[in-house]
Amino acid sequence: MGRARRITRRAFLVATAAVAGGVGFGVWKAREVPANPLAPDAGVSLNPWLIVDGGGVTVVVPRAEMGQGVRTTLAALVAEELDADFAAIRVIHGPPAQAYFNGALMEAGLPMPNFALSDRQRWIGAQMAALPKVLSLQVTGGSTSTVDAFEKMRLAGATARETFKLAAAARAGADTAQLATENGAVLMPDGTRLTYVELAADAARIEPPEVMLRDPGQWRLLGRALPRTDMAEKVTGSATRRWRCRGWSG
């Protein structure tokens, strides 16, 4: 996984931003980082996919749950890199926002199966990813949810994890290299645990660092069957269905 990447608190830097043949304004619009639409009443949001408040870690999964398990898979992408306690994680759909554009739509729209795409065709798809971004297309469909989220939501988790480590290091006068993370907390060199909840306010004031994504060999959640985060609400009938939406209330 080698390339260092960064996402800012306000959002996410798209790797392939230029619109082929676009004029300056188009390129600027495509490169512009979408704002973080989250402004929680309590707690902090380090990026569009994460809220940390007194209740713990909440992940925004901005795709429709239709039984494909997206509220579990996408939450796991964040939790994997964040070292959050997956069993305790809460998942919300979040508001409609440009930050949640589906960058995998265009590749999915090319008239051949994904596995048959040439490098050139993939490149075209990647360039065209600017289109759903500029148009704020927050679409669920075409088996694109995980493809779109695979890097961005892991980056959201990894960036937050490293920001929490910076906050913990600053508090204890330690070096981040001495720190580890586990189950929603930073482990200090002396063995004490500083939870993400405790560190959230400090972390919100820190410029997020560049991060490396973990090698798949280190994954603990991804690639394994996980209990669905929405199972209880589906067996009590309380899961919100799309025709019952009453506006976003966090």
**Residue 71, φ and ψ in degrees, nearest 5:** -70, -15
Stretch that binds another protein, among 118-126, 177-185, 197-205, 239-247 (CB under 8 A): 239-247
**Residue 60, φ and ψ in degrees, nearest 5:** -90, 120
Interaction with another protein in 27-46: which residues (CB under 8 A)?
Answer: none
Distances (CA, A) of 41 to 52, 54, 99, 199: 11, 11, 19, 17
Nearer to another protein, 136 or 146 (CB): 146
- Nearest approach in angstroms of CB 151 to another protein is 26
Stretch that binds another protein, among 16-24, 98-106, 186-194, 229-237 (CB under 8 A): 229-237
- Nearest approach in angstroms of CB 227 to another protein is 6
Contact mark string toward another protein, 49..68, x via CB under 8 A: ----------------xxxx
Residue 244 lies near another protein (rule: CB under 8 A): yes
Q: What's the distance, CA 175 to chain centroid?
A: 26
* Number of residues lying near another protein (CB under 8 A): 19
Residue 238 lies near another protein (rule: CB under 8 A): yes
**E-only strand ranges, the chain:** 44-47, 50-53, 56-60, 90-92, 180-182, 185-187, 193-195
- Nearest approach in angstroms of CB 69 to another protein is 7
Residue 247 lies near another protein (rule: CB under 8 A): no
Terminal-to-terminal C-alpha distance of the chain: 33
- Nearest approach in angstroms of CB 65 to another protein is 8
Nearer to another protein, 177 or 225 (CB): 225
- Nearest approach in angstroms of CB 5 to another protein is 33
246: which residues sit within 8 A by CB, 6+ positions away? none
Nearer to another protein, 212 or 239 (CB): 239
Q: Please, which residues bridge with residue 47 across strands?
A: 50
d(C-alpha 103, C-alpha 33), whole Å: 13
Residue 242 lies near another protein (rule: CB under 8 A): no
84: which residues sit within 8 A by CB, 6+ positions away? 57, 78, 157, 183, 184, 196
Stretch that binds another protein, among 31-39, 179-187, 189-197, 225-233 (CB under 8 A): 225-233
**Residue 177, φ and ψ in degrees, nearest 5:** -65, -20
Residues that bind another protein in the complex, under the rule CB under 8 A: 65-69, 227-228, 230-239, 241, 244
